[in-house]
Structure 1
Amino acid sequence: MILVENKSKNPAYNHALEEYLLSTGEDVFILWQNEPTVLVGRNQNVYKEVDIEYCNDKGIHIVRRLSGGGTIYTDLENMQYTFITREQEGDSFKYFAAPIINALKKLNINAEFTGRNDMVIDGRKFSGNAQYHQGNRVLHHGTILFSVDMYNLQNCLTPNKKKFEGKNVSSVKSRVGFLKEYTDKTIQEFMDVLEEEICKEYGIIERYDPKDIEEQVLKIQKERFESKEWNFGQNPKFSVDIIEKHPFGLVEYGINVSKGRIKEIKINGDFFGRKNISGLEDLLRGQLFEIKEITNVLSQIDINDYIQGAQKEDIINDLFQEGEV
């Protein structure tokens, strides 16, 4: 494994760098930062998750990630980390969180992994993680909240209230943890020590300056992460709108039906998946919007490839609730 020394604070460049490094076959670790940015999960509807006007007024970037999961706010008061390696067996989220947790313990910060993709300290979340899969490779990245601009965090995101059903929380501030409360170090000092501990754990001795691949990275930055089509997509109107919360995430279905068949379908949410959700949408488009027909289609695939943790029965129950269609 090599350490990539990325000094860029531009979110479009940073995510383009991740994508390029994923294609090289090298095992890498990166500890980096973004300017104030809203990072949108690959499968989410930016128009529903983000106060776009607020972000524009405040000069906050809006960039869609390659990975699934939820929409988050990041800035220079916190940091991101990335592992790019071969696929891991078992709970890969927990696998990649472990070296971060181990490093924090050496700094006398007792963190733990919880749920499907979070790290917490004293019951408060300080890190959310997401993944993108390509062949037998995985890009795992997460945010580490050293601190954050709480005003921006509370005003730039507009999450669906259904996401928090069943959670005993009174405010964003009450459920978020900041590592600065557990150390007297500055954020840069903290990043330097964290990077050093990760390098020790993996025996990393090689450091790499990405300036040698800047041309390739800038091409990806321009074509994808600075593209309005990629970052914002479309916001079509649907005749059927269904939103359901599951242990594996929030799933939203937008469907237009014509003459009994699915004319158009869009599936959004903060779920994860190894395959692009558009593949599932393509399979459903044109099918009769009936339980038997959709059950037959879903029986021919592994739904877990598209929505990690889901069973076909979950999708059927979502789509054919009494009174919905």
Structure 2
Amino acid sequence: MVFTLFRRAATRFHTPGSRFYGTPPGAQHSIYISKSTNPYFNLTFEDWLFRHKNPEEPLLLIYRDDPCVIIGRNQNPWKEVNFEALRARPHIPFVRRRSGGGTVYHDMGNTNFSIHLPRHSFDRHITAQIVLRAVRSFGIDARVNDRNDICVGEEKISSAYKIVNKRAYHHGTMLISSRLDTLGDLLRTNKDTMITKGVASVRSPVCNLQQFSPTIVHELFVDAVVSEFQKEYSINAPVVHIEETDQMKNIEYIRRGLDELPSWNWAYGQTPEFTYTIENPFSWGDVTAEIRSKHGLVIACNFQLINTLNNTIPESLSVLGRSLEGKRYGSFEESFVREADIGPMQEVAIWIQRMTQTRP
């Protein structure tokens, strides 16, 4: 998950020697601060750096996003995200990133960092220490736990890492002044009967850095992390500020990423197989539904019925279940309800639609 920290007052975000780029950065650059707040661009740019920069050179990327929910590469959004709360906030997207790890909430009150290193020298403890020293520079008594999470008391920052070929990276989210109420609403789910082959998030208490140091802001935290990164790896190259320009977005890899991340095939279609079991009492009997889904599509829906005197309902339920096969989970059309037989089957169809609904 996430949490927060900070100290000084005046900011020097435009550090001496920093440069602004709306074109692909050169090979000599190693510290990047994105000026974009578009989560699709920032995640795609992070992955572009990971795959295209020199794998033997340490690299730092820092960015902020407009409000969004970010899930890990191998996670189940229906298990991790409260879609009822998300539907009430249509301006907030959920995004599946390309790396593993748990689900987090991003907004302009938290700062995201990504440290890329050669695979042979990658050590999550060292990268966590860089951020820890930045936090401690504000007089905050933080520590790194045995999972290499940065904690203040029992609250922590969670992180994820990805290893591909010769390069690895450690990324995380630092809560500074984030909307913790929104975070809690969007990430609070009750899907105990959803059994998934995906990776589940580890829920932990979180807090904002401004709780410990009210003057901490994004720019000061950025300066502190940049300074510690430069000292750790003896880097003197200028900081590069990245703009989300048409030229950047027209880089083929970035353009493909910007198209792919919001797509249904990526956001939902990458979901590992899962089974969701739900039950509901109706006036004519008690129904249990077992819905199996893989890659976002329903592969089976089986019903069990007890306490009924209507002998025709079991066969009707079987027909209803078969009609769901191959459909996108969570996006059952209104026609699914309309085409169900009037009476008990329409009641069941409405119930299934309500219990699985994703977006309007």
> Does 2:136 correspond to 1:121?
no
Shift of 1:192: 4.0
1:271-306 Cα distance to aligned partner (Å, 9 max, x none): xxxxxxxxxxxxxxxxxxxxxxxxxxxxxxxxxxxx
Q: What residue number does 2:113 align with?
A: 81
1:170-229 Cα distance to aligned partner (Å, 9 max, x none): xx8x92132112224242343343244235423343223445644226413323222221
The answer (yes or no) to whether the contact 1:101–1:110 under 8 Å persists in 2 is no
SS of 1:110's equivalent in the other structure is coil
Name the CA distance, whole Å, in 2 between partners of 1:66 and 1:237: 18
Q: What residue number does 1:260 align with?
A: none
Shift of 1:73: 1.0
Of residues 115-124 and 130-139 in structure 1, the stretch that sits farther from structure 2 once superposed is 115-124
Name the CA distance, whole Å, in 1 between partners of 2:150 and 2:160: 12
How many residues end up aligned between the 2 structures? 233
Select which of 152, 172, 175 maps to 1:145. Answer: 175
Name the CA distance, whole Å, in 2 between partners of 1:240 and 1:47: 10
Select which of 197, 205, 213 maps to 1:183. Answer: 213
Shift of 1:147: 2.5
Q: What residue number does 1:41 align with?
A: 72
Q: What residue number does 1:231 align with?
A: 267
SS of 1:5's equivalent in the other structure is strand
Structure of greater relative contact order (alpha carbons < 8 Å, 6+ residues apart)? 2
Q: Where does the alignment leave 5 or more consecutive residues of structure 2 unmatched?
A: 1-28, 193-202, 278-291, 300-360
Name the CA distance, whole Å, in 1 between partners of 2:272 and 2:59: 39
SS of 2:115's equivalent in the other structure is strand
From the two aligned structures, give the one with the greater helix fraction: 1
Query: Partner amino acid for 2:208?
Result: F
Name the CA distance, whole Å, in 2 between partners of 1:180 and 1:219: 37
> Does 2:266 correspond to 1:208?
no
Shift of 1:238: 5.9
Query: Partner amino acid for 1:109?
Result: I
Query: Partner amino acid for 1:60?
Result: I
Q: What residue number does 1:219 align with?
A: 255
RMSD of aligned Cα (Å): 3.0
SS of 2:158's equivalent in the other structure is strand
Shift of 1:68: 1.2
Of residues 28-37 and 205-214 in structure 1, the stretch that sits farther from structure 2 once superposed is 205-214
Shift of 1:101: 0.7
Select which of 130, 139, 151 maps to 1:108. Answer: 139
Of residues 61-70 and 230-239 in structure 1, the stretch that sits farther from structure 2 once superposed is 230-239
Q: What residue number does 2:81 align with?
A: 50
From the superposition, tell whether residues 19 and 239 of structure 1 become closer, same or farther in structure 2 (CA, over 3 Å): closer
Name the CA distance, whole Å, in 2 between partners of 1:240 and 1:221: 31
Query: Partner amino acid for 2:186?
Result: C
SS of 1:175's equivalent in the other structure is coil
1:70-89 Cα distance to aligned partner (Å, 9 max, x none): 11111111110011221145
Structure with the greater alpha carbon radius of gyration? 2
SS of 1:82's equivalent in the other structure is strand
From the superposition, tell whether residues 158 and 182 of structure 1 become closer, same or farther in structure 2 (CA, over 3 Å): closer
> What percentage of aligned pairs have identical amino acids?
26
Select which of 30, 35, 47 maps to 1:19. Answer: 47
From the superposition, tell whether residues 236 and 34 of structure 1 become closer, same or farther in structure 2 (CA, over 3 Å): closer
Name the CA distance, whole Å, in 2 between partners of 1:190 and 1:118: 21
Query: Partner amino acid for 1:120?
Result: C
From the superposition, tell whether residues 151 and 61 of structure 1 become closer, same or farther in structure 2 (CA, over 3 Å): same
Shift of 1:111: 1.5
The answer (yes or no) to whether the contact 1:87–1:136 under 8 Å persists in 2 is yes
Query: Partner amino acid for 1:220?
Result: R
